[in-house]
A and B are shown apart, each in its own frame.
Chain A
Amino acid sequence: MALKTEEMILNMGPQHPSTHGVLRLELELEGEIIIGAKPHIGYLHRCFEKHCEAMTYPQVTPYTDRMDYLASMYNEFGYALAVEKLLGIQVPERVEYIRVIMGEFQRIASHLVAIGTYGLDIGAMTPFLYCFRDRERILSLFEQTCGARLLYNYIWVGGLSHDLHPDFINQAKDFIKYFRPKIKELNDLLTNNKIFIDRTANVGILPLDLAINYGISGPNLRASGFKWDIRKDDPYSVYNKFDFEIPIGNGTMGTVGDCWDRYYIRVLEMEESLKIIEQALEQIPEGDVTSAIPKRIKPAVGQVYSRVENPRGELGYFVMSDGSVNPFRVKVKGPSFVHLGIMNELLKGYMIADVIAILGSIDIVLGEVDR
């Protein structure tokens, strides 16, 4: 006689050390195998979009910081570009260069958190400490520039709040020199670690057609083997002036689009970001960073969708103006929000122990999922 079996519902979160924030996953299990997963989000919902409608355009900038708090520079960058597009203004070249430098530093800092905490999820404590040590140097660079370590309010519509401090370029060059060997160290410590590979290779495979249909972007899309980077494919700011590669996943340790690929793309991207910063530091022109900041922002009636390649993927701002000083509608298409939507597909057929590995590899920030 066959044994009677029954599916079981298991709640993971909202308070769970490996969910990287307040997220509840409702897992449907058959034994230890996952047959369905329902993410429940909204625990950090702060009505960002409603707030925007009561603010003037420049007042929104500090709010955008608080969405993806690990990549605040890039949130501001995206918002500033969207409003500038709506206004039809050009910013001085020096501003563009500084934005790119800051953005790429932010990408490295954000990837360091992603990589460090991913190791932590899998059970490797040391890389986390190494990553945070290096990230600290980037944060103090930011702190010296604009006074804040995480929530900067630095990139404004039409310009920047401050110019670079006089010693910035030297310190940035020092950092590049310091950081290059650290990537190698990280590879020895984590990337090629047998235990790490066993936990991540061939786990959480994301096929490319599914990824595109689900709107997956950024490192997660590239890990599935698609060369797509908005910095190259739909260039904004001055990104078309730099020479850099777009790394894609090729299944080195397992299958294309598995957790290891998604992890390793981030390691490779840090190297590319260093290349961009190096070139930008060489080419940066002189100029005034506040000259193009409009006194009064009052765009004509219309709407715009503008997107940037945030460390996590495509960050889009849909901004609509009704001709007044307040935005009529601001909608944020955040990469984390979109990536979480695929969890049901991605988790099916894997074991509970893999949930942590898969969730960590897509690198979400709940502050931006919930907004």
Chain B
Amino acid sequence: MKSTEEIFEILKANFGESILELVAAVPVEKFIRINQLEIDKVCLFLRDDQDLLFDSLMNLSGVDDANGKKVASENGDQIISGGTLSVYYHLESTKYRHKLVLKTSAEREKPDIISVSNVWRHADWHEREAYDLLGINFLNHPDLRRILMPYDWEAGYPLRKDYKNPEFYQGMKVPY
């Protein structure tokens, strides 16, 4: 059983610059921030290293940090410009019983994050959900389609903080 601090040191020794920081000054859960383009390698290491064996991904959730500037778009709506979208990964080892929280962030204007669905197949649908609701683009994902919203939904990503309901969907008034 290893603490987040120990795991942070192990990762830092193996991946150097890709491991950004350990955020410990938060209540309840500490987490480690990782470069969004190296996350798959880090996760593969975490899964397969004999002292860590994070064989189970408990949860993967996308978040709109809404830390950009609020500006008015051409048609007068408030939109958020700049800032980041993030993904939280909650890992667990069923053998050693330790847990770990990782976080990656990507630019709101270009939200590219490498998929971990080849590390844990469990991530497949959660990543599709994060893509569907937040518009995070998971690179190398085998089948990145909308999952909860209709396939032909064109009004954007509902869980973004500046999302606005469309007036019409396929010619039908929303809300009808």
Contact = CB atoms under 8 A, between A and B. Distances in A.
B101 A305 contact: yes
Contact of A338 (B125, B133, B149): B125
A49 interface: yes
B59 A370 contact: no
Contacts, number: 94
Given A228-B94, A302-B29, A370 B88 contact: no
B97 interface: yes
B63 interface: yes
A42 B28 contact: no
B59 A333 contact: yes
A45 B28 contact: no
Interface string B41-73: 000000000000001111101111000000000
Contacts of A342: 121
Tell me the dominant secondary structure on chain A's binding face. Answer: mixed
A105 B82 CA distance: 49
- Of the candidates A86, A214, A316, the one having the most CB atoms from chain B within 10 angstroms of its own CB is A214
Contacts of A213: 55, 120-122
Interface string B148-169: 1110000000110001000000
Instruction: Determine which residue in A215, A302, A307 has the highest number of CB atoms from chain B within 10 A of its CB, and name it.
Output: A215
A133 to B, nearest CB: 36
- Of B55, B58, B150, most buried by chain A (CB within 10 Å of CB) is B58
A212 B94 contact: yes
Interface in B120-160: 120-122, 124-126, 133, 146-150, 158-159
Nearest to A216: B122
B158 to A, nearest CB: 6
Interface string A70-102: 000000000000000110100000000000000
Given A303-B88, A318-B88, A329-B61, A215 B148 contact: no
Interface of B: 26-29, 55-59, 61-64, 88, 90, 94, 97, 101, 120-122, 124-126, 133, 146-150, 158-159, 163
Given A45-B149, A212-B56, A341-B122, 10 more contacts: A42-B150, A50-B158, A88-B28, A213-B55, A215-B57, A302-B27, A302-B29, A307-B58, A320-B63, A333-B126
